[in-house]
């Protein structure tokens, strides 16, 4: 790593250090850096436990356990100056131990972490916000294979060779090289993903192409996604007969379907789950304060809005979250029961038209007075 000296127009080498030289420890330092900023690993992760030892009949501890944005469990093993020769074996063991964790197991593990290591919080709520789902029942956790991330300043040849072989066989594994540098008493940390590097990825894709295609087809054909697409297709056909509000919207595999309100970050949304159908206004603009202010101003018009809508609405300020919601729901119905579809589609389309009509003028006034 180099520092560019503008005055002398030269590249000055920074002093490369070892973690041992700097007296940095694995658990006390590197592990904490990762916990506080997973960008070190090149992606957004939610740490749900550290020094996890909740395995039957063993006292072994994995360094960090995380969830990625797809709901996969990520086993993180961090070393300092030397990866050692056993890190792959350790990581595979921990991945096998974690493969049997249920969604409820993960929730409890994360809740224990929040209670002991953090300042509290509700695991379900944080997981839902991270995964961008509205209900914990919709969260998909540990459905796919587990992933492995290994971190060290130097990886032994036997480690990188094994990691590449595992990649060829569709084991999701990454190696991150971390190197400390010193500059005028300041410590800089350089991170580099060495496996899979670009050339290695191309090689792995050629070798494992058939398996990857099979995985992709399997994902595309998952029953719940097909059901949602079919449901939204039917709903949009009916909605477009009654209104143009969703005329530019396509079916999706998600449990919600949204369209713009004319204001950035504020959407009219259909939601259909295994327990209810809902129409809503979802408010999620630039900041939490702005979202709550918009909600509060609309709430001040509650009586007027509900009078025009001809029913009481569910006003969810959601103080612990960034966004806010105003909704109207039909319960005891399921998107996964096709016998409920006619009732759900009629409810959603009819009430979305009334809902948008009741909200339109108050929302326009709030947004133009802001």
The helix, strand and coil proportions of the chain, stated in percent and rounded to the nearest 5, come to 45, 25, 35
Q: How far apart are CA 167 and CA 16, in angstroms?
A: 30
Q: State pLDDT tens for residues 324-344.
A: 999 999 999 999 999 999 999
Q: Could you tell me the pLDDT band of residue 61, with boundaries at 50, 70 and 90? A: confident
pLDDT at position 71 is 92
| Per-residue pLDDT reduced to its tens digit, 71-120 | 999 999 988 888 888 888 889 999 998 998 999 999 999 999 999 877 77
Give the architecture (CATH level 2) of 214-368. Answer: 2-Layer Sandwich (3.30)
Nearest to 64 by CA among 35, 107, 89: 35
pLDDT of 168 over the 90 cut:
no
**Range picked from 48-52, 309-313, 316-320 for highest mean pLDDT:** 309-313
Name the architecture of domain 2-196.
3-Layer(aba) Sandwich (3.40)
User: At 90, is the secondary structure helix, strand, or coil?
Assistant: helix
Which tokens sit at 256? 């919600």
Residue 120 has a pLDDT of 76
What pLDDT band is residue 267 in, cutting at 50, 70 and 90?
A: very high
C-alpha distances in angstroms, 206 versus 166, 167, 202, 344? 14, 12, 6, 46
Residue 31: C-alpha distances to residues 17, 28, 193, 353 (Å): 18, 6, 17, 52
Whether pLDDT at 196 is above 90: no
Question: What are the sequence ranges of the domains in the chain?
Answer: 2-196, 214-368
DSSP secondary structure string, 287-301?
-HHHHHHHHHHHHTT
Q: Are 63 and 53 in contact (CB under 8 A)?
A: no
Tell me the per-residue pLDDT of 2-55, one tens digit each, with 9 for 90 and over: 888 888 898 888 888 888 888 888 888 989 999 999 999 989 999 999 988 777
């Amino acid at each position: 790593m180099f520092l560019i000296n503008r005055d002398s127009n030269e590249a000055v080498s920074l002093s490369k250090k070892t973690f041992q030289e700097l007296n940095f420890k694995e658990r006390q330092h590197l592990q904490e850096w990762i916990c506080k900023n997973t960008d070190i690993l090149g992606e957004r992760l939610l740490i749900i436990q550290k020094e996890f030892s909740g395995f039957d009949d063993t006292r072994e501890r994995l360094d960090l356990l995380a969830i990625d944005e797809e709901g996969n469990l990520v086993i993180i093993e961090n070393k300092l100056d030397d990866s050692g020769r056993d890190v792959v074996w350790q990581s595979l063991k921990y991945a096998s131990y974690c493969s049997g964790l249920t969604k409820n197991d993960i929730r409890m593990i994360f809740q224990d972490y929040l209670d002991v290591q953090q300042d509290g919080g509700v695991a379900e709520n944080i997981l839902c916000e991270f995964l961008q789902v509205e209900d914990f029942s919709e969260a998909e956790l540990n459905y796919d294979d587990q992933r492995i991330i290994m971190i060290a300043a130097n990886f032994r040849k036997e480690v990188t060779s094994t990691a590449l072989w595992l990649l060829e066989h569709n084991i999701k594994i990454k190696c991150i090289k971390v190197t400390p540098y010193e500059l005028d008493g300041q410590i800089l940390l350089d991170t580099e993903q060495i496996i899979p590097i670009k050339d290695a990825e191309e090689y792995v894709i050629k070798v494992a192409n058939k398996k990857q295609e099979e995985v992709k087809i399997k994902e595309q054909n998952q029953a719940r996604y097909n059901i949602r697409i079919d449901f939204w297709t039917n709903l949009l056909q009916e909605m477009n007969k009654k209104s143009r509000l969703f005329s530019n919207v396509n079916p999706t595999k998600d449990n919600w379907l949204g369209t713009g309100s004319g204001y950035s970050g504020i959407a009219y949304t259909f939601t259909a789950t295994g327990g209810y159908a809902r129409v809503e206004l979802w408010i999620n603009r630039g900041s939490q304060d702005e979202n709550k202010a918009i909600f509060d101003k609309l709430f001040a018009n509650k009586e007027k809005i509900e009078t025009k809508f001809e029913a009481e609405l569910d006003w969810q300020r959601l103080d612990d979250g960034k966004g806010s919601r105003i909704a109207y729901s039909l319960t005891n119905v399921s998107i996964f029961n096709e016998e409920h579809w006619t009732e759900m589609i009629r409810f959603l389309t009819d009430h979305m038209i009334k809902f948008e009509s009741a909200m339109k003028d108050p929302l326009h006034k709030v947004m133009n007075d802001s």
